[in-house]
Structure 1
Amino acid sequence: MSRILITGGAGFIGSNLADRLAGTGHDVVLMDTLARPGVERNLKWLLLRHRNRIRNLQTDVRDAAGVATAVADVDAVFHLAAQVAVTTSLSDPREDFDINLGGTLNVLEAARERRTPVIFASTNKVYGDLADVGLELVDDAWAPVDSGLRRAGVDERRPLDFHTPYGCSKGGADQYVLDYARSFGVPACVVRMSCIYGPRQMGTEDQGWVAHFLIRALNDERITLFGDGRQVRDILHVSDAVRAYVAALERIEGVSGRAFNLGGGPANAVSLRQLIAHIEGLIGRRADVVFEDWRAGDQRYFVADTSAARTALDLPAPIAWREGVADLARWLRSEGGLLNPPQTVAA
């Protein structure tokens, strides 16, 4: 079996991915500074389950020498470490740049010499705010006027249009990964994620909104919606995201140099208001909801066309969103300590 590095490996997606890889016999090296409140719980959980296969390097991706040392000792890299909040990027664009773009360049340079495979976690934010897409209200949710776009979602042919420092840093890193595959032959691909949710997500107001809404509702705490709450996203359960990442590594020679949109697709498209209504049904009471102004770079609509990823990676149909959100609610209730989490911006 292989030794695999996951940057940001104690985070939400990273810990689920590490659990899957260690559970199938791989040795997993995590690179995580544990800066985000709560992720130390994920690390403890991983060590209890896979003590002989998991180790964590408390190395920052901005440390080029530390990254080079880590990458030299592994067979593949999942690069998930990032500054993940648009709001934080607006308050500190330099740090956002250093982590997201500088950190990615450190990973790529470390991978270049040995042509170590790299799977990069990108974002749907590389497509901008989609302000040119005509929308109409359908069942309390924004939907494209164009029937083809409404039916299939946004595909990878959509022009890139970086908005906010976060969009620029992640978008720039996205393009560097693809170019290192083209220019240097590094086996690398990009996964442009829509909204991923599920167990081990420490959701805050700035990032991880599905878990954040559930945590607030379970605690009888106020939920703030920015904008009109009719924004639509396609949400994907983390187990389906992990399946896609593993498949990308298994097929890296065939998918190197490609970018894939990854989300729940049109069948799992839901507005914020619709999600809250479902949560109210799960908890048996009304949620306390207030509205604030729109936030910079917010998309009124984003649903991924995932057909390219499904075909290239041989992915099954994803978990239906209502079933997946109920699964997350059960996990949050079982992890009572996650309720009343530290109030902080995502980092």
Structure 2
Amino acid sequence: MSGGEQTILVTGGAGFVGSNLADRLATGGRRVRIYDSLNRPGVEANLDWLTSRHGELIEPVIADIRDADRMLQAARGVDAAFHFAAQVAVTTSMADPRADLDINILGTFNLLEAVRAQAAHAPVIFASTNKVYGDLSDCPMRPSPHGYHPDHPDLPVTGIGEDRPLDFHTPYGVSKGAADQYVLDYARSYGLRTAVLRMSCIYGQRQMGTEDQGWVAHFLIRAMRGETITLFGDGYQVRDICDVRDTVDAYLAALDRIDAISGRAFNWGGGANNAVSLLTVIDEIGRVIGHAPKVEFADWRPGDQRWYVSDTARIDKALQLSQRRGWRDGLRDLAAWLETQHAPAQPVPAMQAAAL
């Protein structure tokens, strides 16, 4: 089926990754049905951007993923579904675990049942999280000037593989982990073509970074405004950060190869080449904006991993993916985009940022 004849459902399609994926789909001529409650501050701008760029190829459905009837209607006639709608913050899940459960578990169930009833041929590709592996507290970590790294033979520096046992921590980890398993089981139990990407830290354009989620953009926004960045913990936590453009490539490749990967979960992130500590990112932000950001420290947050790096060998092979962008280049691209979106308290000229 050609792209122009397809309708693709993207739940959470006005959000960060969802809007980037929707843009790529519509650019390729597909109709994109954006299902989003627009509850997250700022996402209306993403939806306006999509409709202004693509016109009638974007079909907004403003509704909550917990509404089973609206979800059933939205799944009618779709050729594939990407599921990004979620409660995304550990802190929010601790404060309101019932809402976290309803959105992440019941919402995912609603989508799966809607697709099963209305479009059983349609692939469902779900955005899961590295939090399904818990805080890795059973594995010793050693600090270094460049951040924590594993001091255990079962944790290679190449990263966490899919064979690592699941270990749900915090209500967020439990809800996303349960949804992850529902998506995989609907391939086993009902024959749906499903796949799961367990994502590490994704960053890039159209990210509404906050203290609770989207930390790379959040750090940049705070620094560009001359505001203080709060680091929870000691700042030596390591993550494999990944540009959203590479992430969209992975999701599109998963759709193209769904018959080969159906019923499987993959770890996704920047990989070992993009594994970096929070403090190292802050140092690089200082180089990009021309002055050191202001930083303060606070207590560790529940379930925070000292080190998490995705071993992406399995997904790279299955989807024939190329090497990810280097995180420094991606950070500069994000800073340049943010300059067009935000009014920093201490403006950074674009030429200066590009030259550093």
TM-score range, shorter chain: over 0.9
1:194 to 196, 200, 203: 200
Q: Secondary structure at the match of 2:328?
A: helix
Aligned equivalent of 1:17, options 3, 15, 21: 21
State the structure with bigger RCO (CA 8 A, min sep 6), 1 or 2. 1
CA–CA distance in structure 2, aligned partners of residues 122 and 255 of structure 1: 16
Do the aligned partners of residues 318 and 93 (structure 1) sit closer, same or farther apart at CA in structure 2, a change above 3 Å counting? same
The one-letter code sitting in structure 1 at the alignment partner of 2:80 is A
Q: What's 2:12 paired with?
A: 8
| 1:228-243 paired onto structure 2 within 5 Å | 228-243=234-249
With 136-145 and 177-186 compared, the bigger mean Cα shift is at 136-145
**Change in 2 beyond 3 A, CA 1:148/1:168:** closer
The one-letter code of the counterpart of 2:112 is: L
2:86 counterpart residue number: 82
What is the letter of the counterpart of residue 250 of structure 1? Answer: D
- Deviation track 1:92-137 (CA, whole Å, cap 9, x = no partner) reads 0000000000000000111123322100000000000001112112
Q: Which residue is equivalent to 1:209?
A: 215
TM-score (norm 1): 0.96
Q: 1:149 aligns with which of 147, 151, 155?
A: 155
The equivalent residue for 1:53 is 57
Aligned to 1:158: 164
Aligned residue type for 1:62: R
Q: Secondary structure at the match of 2:166?
A: coil
| 1:216-250 superposed Cα distances (whole Å, 9 cap, x missing partner) | 00000010000010000000000000000001011
Q: Does the CA-based 8 Å contact 1:196-1:263 persist in structure 2?
A: yes
1:121 aligns with 2:127: yes
Shift in Å, 1:146: 3.5
SS at match of 1:274: helix
Q: Which amino acid aligns with 1:310?
A: D
* CA drift at 1:33: 1.1
The answer for the alignment partner of 1:321 in structure 2 is: 327
Counterpart of 1:165 in structure 2: which amino acid?
A: P
Partner of 1:27: 31
Residue among 276, 281, 286 paired with 2:287: 281
Structure 2 length-normalised TM = 0.93
How many aligned positions are there?
340
Structure 2 counterpart SS, 1:204: coil
Aligned residues of 1:232 and 1:301 also touching (Cα < 8 A): yes
Deviation at 1:150, TM superposition (A): 3.9
| Residue identity opposite 2:40 in structure 1 | R
Distance 2:198 2:279 in 1: 24
Q: Whole-Å Cα distance in 1 between the matches of residues 68 and 255 of structure 2?
A: 24
Deviations 1:251-302 (A, max 9, x none): 1111000000000000000000000000011111111100000000000000
Unmatched tracts of structure 2, length 5 or more? 347-356
Q: Look up the match of 1:263.
A: 269
Q: 1:296 aligns with which of 288, 293, 302?
A: 302
Q: Secondary structure at the match of 1:151?
A: coil
Q: Could you tell me whether the CA contact under 8 Å between 1:150 and 1:266 is conserved in 2?
A: no
Q: Alignment partner of 2:56: what SS?
A: coil
Distance 1:62 1:338 in 2: 37
Q: Superposition RMSD on alpha carbons, in Å?
A: 1.3
Q: Which residue of 2 aligns with 1:345?
A: none
Q: CA deviation at 1:147?
A: 6.2
Off by >2 Å, runs of 4+ in structure 1: 146-151, 336-340
State the match for 1:343 in structure 2. none
**Aligned-partner residue type, residue 26 of structure 1:** R
- The one-letter amino acid paired with 1:127 is Y
Residue 263 of structure 2 aligns with an amino acid whose one-letter code is G
